[in-house]
Amino acid sequence: MVTTAGKCHCGQLQWEVTTEEAPVHILCHCSACKLIGGGEYTLNLIVPKDNCKITSETKPNVYTYKGDSGNDVQCFYCPTCTSHPWHYQTVNADNYVVRTGLLEGSDKFSVAAEVYMKEKYEFQPKIAEAAFETVPPS
């Protein structure tokens, strides 16, 4: 098991994520991620909820939006700087979608896959060998 620390932009919200192997990035090109992140994709990893732990006194705020499925997605964010450590999708009830770009050493993580390729900007090259129009089959 590998435990990796994460923190928000202002440093007030801190957490740890435990994964079976070294963390990797999954690039998401969906419209919600682009709106929330303000870029061409977000860097993510699906992690069991029990493997994510807030380690700071500051606790995240939460807001809810509707995902592609029509089900609720809860977005956790720092109450000061609004960085998003993870999201919770009710359709994926046992897991969080962790923003890997906020984890220590994320510049060294490999890219394992890309999702929502159907919403990728045309000017972007395909980065990962594993790429899915929406999400991978279960």
What's residue 48's pLDDT?
A: 96
The residue range of the domain holding 30 is: 2-119
Q: Which of the four pLDDT bands, split at 50, 70 and 90, describes residue 37?
A: confident
Number of domains in the chain: 1
Within-domain flag for 128: no
Band (135; pLDDT cuts 50, 70, 90): confident
CA 122 – CA 115 distance, rounded (Å)? 15
In a domain, 129, yes or no: no
127 confidence band (pLDDT: 50, 70, 90): very high
Q: Per-residue pLDDT for 16 more than 70?
A: yes
DSSP H/E element including 27: strand 25-28
Residues 6 or more apart whose Cβ sits within 8 Å of residue 21: 2
Instruction: With respect to residue 87, please indicate whether it lies within any of the assigned structural domains.
Output: yes
Helix (H) or strand (E) holding 81: none
Please report, for the domain that includes residue 48, its CATH number.
2.170.150.70
Does residue 132 form part of some domain? no
Each residue of 40-71: pLDDT tens digit? 999 999 999 999 999 999 999 999 999 888 89
Q: What is the pTM of this model?
A: 0.89
Domain membership of residue 82 (yes or no) is yes
Measured between alpha carbons, how far is residue 48 from residues 15, 19, 43, 84, 109 in Å?
Answer: 14, 9, 17, 17, 19
Domain assignment of residue 83, yes or no: yes
pLDDT band of 36, cuts 50, 70, 90: confident
